[in-house]
Amino acid sequence: MTHSQELTPEALAGLRERYRAERERRVRPDGTRQYLGADAEFGYYAADPYVGEAAEREPVRDRVDVAVVGGGFGGILAGARLRQRGVQRVRVIEKGGDFGGTWYWNRYPGIHCDIESHVYLPLLDETGYVPEWKYAPGEEIRRHAVRIAEKFDLYADALFSTAVTSLTWDDTAEAWIVATDRGDKFRATYVITATGTLTELKLPGIPGIETFKGHTFHTSRWDYAYTGGTPDGGLTGLADKRVGVVGTGATGVQVVPMLAEDAKHLYVFQRTPSSVDVRANRRTTAGDVGADHDGWARERRDNFLRIVSGEGAEEDLVADRWTASAGLLEKLLPSFRRQGDRAAFEAAYEIADAAKMNEIRARVEEIVADPDTAEKLKPWYRYACKRPTFSDLYLQAFNRDNVTLVDTADTHGIERMTERGVVVGDTEYELDCLIFATGFSVGVSGIHSGRLPVRGRGGVQLLDAWARHGVRTLHGFTSNGFPNLLQMGSLQNASSVNFTHILDEQAVHAAALVAAAEAKGALIEPSREAEDAWLATLAQDAPDHEWFHAECTPGYYNREGRGRPNGPIAYPHGAVAFHDLLKRWRHQSMDDVLRTRTTARD
Ligand code: NDP
């Protein structure tokens, strides 16, 4: 019997009821306030374990063409695309000790990308690199970031272990003044912000968290000095340790099998189980991925984007569980699929969704030997409610004698912590080490965090202006009153699960704007009318996903159960259409944002 054959109207109604009950069991009144940032007494959680003390250096006080805030793939791609346009002085400022961003910070055991490496790793055509695995390990991805930075000579002017503390537009000089926490104060004609969306680690605000006397760290700052080993495993330091891990999201799913392998005993504290689909990682050859002609990687990446954006393609080159489940991503990201008969679409969607989730739950039963543990590992929500995960090792780890699953759904997570460990229900779990795989605060990095003030024309602060008038941009990149400031990320634009592709298209666009402004000796600044027109475009076909996310289990996709706001937050027709729109705009209308400078460039 297939999973969809079981889906009678009664079965669907039963699922809806079960999903509602599971959601109610998990929603907390404190919503997003339940988390702690790595600030004040918890600041040590965010320290860089890979460089130790940052080397002393003299403050920088010069002038560059472009300051790029952030040295992850966004910043690296901006730098590479600017170089291709002939821009000379590009300075990347990065908090970490090297390029890599996400892949610099996240080096936990088992780390891999679960988007196919041949579409995830950017600039493969340009660097001539062909990944060896369908899903690359984190270290290979980090090295690729370094490879791009080297190829495009981004090290020369870069500032590492340095955080930008303010960006101030100097009306007289028509340039940005960039200040940092290392005493730097330099000028930049343009600023590109590429500060990421999932960068600020978060901790659960568990009562008593500060009292725990054992060892503790967050997965994005792995303490190999304590655990021993490498991202490939061999965590010999844990052989005599009782280890706890909090969190079973995409990170938890990758790290649990590695901890299970080496810890004396592992307690997995789960609040909501992930959907864990087949991964099927394998070695690949250049022949397997068609890496035999110029542009092969671009074609493959475009093909993947078309499919996961619901656009369809003659051939599915990547052919994995992302592409197979593409139809179920409609509720994550707006796309063309929304057009047509809405009711019929939603009915078919619900059936496909239920079939997929039944398949996921059946997989748990097939793999996990203990029925009680299997029951707890089954996800009861719709596919797009939480980020899907993929593993052929995670569920299997629960068949080991040294692994215990502790379900915390009834107590809304871990109830409290003591000097010795963790309390759930009537049980205190004594631990030597507790690892937080509890993720990141969304959308609060860089200039949206409020910790990095941006003052535009007349000293107006960006966040103040947006608090008064709402977020206003043209295409998500530029805002009136903030000349020569280009934002990359997830703001009033279009996104996709393959985020490096999105970043690369943004980098191409930002570099084109800079090149055009340089050629004309102009400033980049949209008019308020251009912003109004863009907001109207976003609003015109804004998808109604709110009801869907309001019925989901809590998580960062729906602001911990409060739903996802409707309104002009993203381009409604998906990433493929957005990229086409940008390309057309560059050809036809770019001059509309170029304004005459009142000063000469020095
Ligand atoms: P997530 O936010 O996805 O997961 C955090 C986990 O911590 C959840 O399981 C959450 O439970 C749990 N948690 C939080 N508070 C408590 C508590 N008080 N008690 C018990 N459990 C708690 O973070 P991740 O780091 O896993 O992933 C973040 C994102 O990073 C992913 O969504 C993905 O976009 C990206 N990523 C991508 C990878 C890739 O291969 N491409 C790999 C890893 C991460 P609950 O669900 O109930 O809130």
Q: How far is the CA of 556 from the centre of ligand 1 (A)?
A: 9
Q: How far is the CA of 221 from the centre of ligand 1 (A)?
A: 15
Examine the pLDDT at 235 and tell me if it is beyond 80. Answer: yes
State how far the Cα of 563 lies from the Cα of 556, in Å rounded to an integer: 10
Q: How far is the CA of 399 from the centre of ligand 1 (A)?
A: 22
> Range with the lowest mean pLDDT among 6-15, 94-103, 160-169, 276-285?
6-15
Closest alpha carbon to 555 in 563, 547, 567, 545: 563
Examine the pLDDT at 37 and tell me if it is beyond 70. Answer: yes
What pLDDT was estimated at residue 1?
39
33 — phi, psi (to 5°)? -75, -5
Q: How far is the CA of 106 from the centre of ligand 1 (A)?
A: 13
Side chain identity at 337, as an amino acid letter?
R
Give the position, in ligand 1's atom list, of the atom nearest the Cα of 271: 47
Q: How confident is the model over 170-183, as pLDDT tens digits? A: 999 999 999 999 99
Q: How confident is the model over 216-234, as pLDDT tens digits? A: 999 999 999 999 999 999 9
Q: How far is the CA of 246 from the centre of ligand 1 (A)?
A: 9
Model-wide pTM > 0.85: yes
> Range with the lowest mean pLDDT among 31-35, 469-473, 496-500, 565-569?
565-569
Closest alpha carbon to 245 in 218, 226, 206, 272: 218
Q: How confident is the model at residue 602 (pLDDT cuts 50, 70, 90)?
A: low
Q: Is the dihedral of CA 262, 263, 265, 270 positive or negative?
A: negative
Q: How far is the CA of 401 from the centre of ligand 1 (A)?
A: 25
State how far the Cα of 125 lies from the Cα of 504, in Å rounded to an integer: 13
Side chain identity at 124, as an amino acid letter?
L
Give the position, in ligand 1's atom list, of the atom nearest the Cα of 111: 42
Examine the pLDDT at 412 and tell me if it is beyond 70. Answer: yes
Give the position, in ligand 1's atom list, of the atom nearest the Cα of 252: 26
For the record, the structure tokens of 150 come out as 């080297």
Q: In the structure, which protein residues have their CB atom closer than 6 angstroms to any atom of ligand 1?
A: 112-115, 198, 204, 206, 246-252, 254, 269, 271-272, 387, 408, 413-414, 437-440, 555-556
What pLDDT was estimated at residue 358?
97
Work out the percent of the chain whose per-residue pLDDT is above 70.
96
Q: How confident is the model over 12-27, as pLDDT tens digits? A: 999 999 999 999 988 8
State how far the Cα of 306 lies from the Cα of 67, in Å rounded to an integer: 33
Classify 22 as helix, strand or coil.
helix
Nearest CA to ligand 1 atom 24: 439
Q: How confident is the model over 512-544, as pLDDT tens digits? A: 999 999 999 999 999 999 999 999 999 888 777
Angular region, 93: left φ>0, alpha ψ -120 to 50, beta rest? beta
> What residues does each domain of the chain span?
63-200+442-536+571-596, 213-279+323-439
Give the position, in ligand 1's atom list, of the atom nearest the Cα of 250: 26
Give the position, in ligand 1's atom list, of the atom nearest the Cα of 439: 23
Whole-number average pLDDT of the chain = 93
State how far the Cα of 202 lies from the Cα of 370, in Å rounded to an integer: 32
State how far the Cα of 256 lies from the Cα of 246, in Å rounded to an integer: 10
Nearest CA to ligand 1 atom 20: 413
Q: What does R_g of the chain's alpha carbons equal in angstroms?
A: 24
From the options 3.50.50.60, 3.30.930.10, 3.40.1190.20, 3.20.20.140, give the CATH code of 63-200+442-536+571-596. Answer: 3.50.50.60
